[in-house]
Amino acid sequence: VTERLAKEFEGLAKLSAHFQTYDKLGTATPIYLSKSGTFFAMNFLDFRTAGERLKESQQVQTTRQVYRRAGLWLTAMHEFKPQKRSQFYGKWMPIEIDARIEDGETRARAQDVARMRDILADQIDAVQMMKDTRVWSHGDFHSENMMLGPGMTYAFDLTEAHMKLAIYDIVDFLKVDIYRDGTGEMIDRSGIIASHREMFFRGYKHGVQPELFDVAMRGRLLIDWASITQQAYLENRSGQRKQFARLKERLDIAFGS
């Protein structure tokens, strides 16, 4: 009725054509739109996701290539439409964290979350309204939305694509780093393994402000930690206990505990 799916199909077709101009990079390709405009079909991709590879393999070379290929794919995505410069607004992150504290369901101790929230708020104030690269973004670029085929890197689930700061797509992917083993000296100021960040940015070619990335990454990890509820932790939904512990380790380093 709204023609939303027809417009989405057209946009995905244009994006798929855009990726055909790049070597070894692609998307799920739209192949059929019903005459009624009530559904469409995409080609089926059947490869292991980036998240599966990173969680299952501890081989350094495999890991490094996953991060580099993610950076290469995102570079192409961010070239789909002309880039702009926009101001960073990070005040939403402390508000989001406060909501987790106030609902009283978080597994983390409220005082621990609040202490890190206060540090984060000060860090946000230092970079608030700084300008950075704004691009046509994936919108949900986490590690389960990227697949690695033989010689090809694909990403899919682009229904949330829109213009926003590039750092948010980058942060969405790199938060998977908490599933990698890393000792204290391996973790950088943002809360992720420094060598993995380096490999990602070997693939990613557009400029982002490092200080904005650090703040956005810390904020994302803190929100994810505070979002793990007591019930989900006790029931260990989707490995929530391990995720909780990993996030706490990274946050303690990022916030200097």
Q: Where residue 257 falls among pLDDT bands split at 50, 70, 90?
A: low
177-212 residues labelled b (16+ CB within 10 A) or e (exposed): bbebebeeeebbbbbbbebbbebbbebbeeebbebb
Structure pTM?
0.94
Q: Where residue 256 falls among pLDDT bands split at 50, 70, 90?
A: confident
The pLDDT tens digits of the residues spanning 126-172 come to 999 999 999 999 999 999 999 999 999 999 998 889 999 999 999 99
Contacts of 14 (CB under 8 A, 6+ apart): none
Higher pLDDT, 1 or 206: 206
Please determine, for residue 1, whether its predicted confidence score (pLDDT) is greater than 70. no
Q: Is 25 helix (H, G, I), strand (E, B) or coil?
A: strand
The answer to whether the CB of 173 falls within 8 A of the CB of 155 is: no
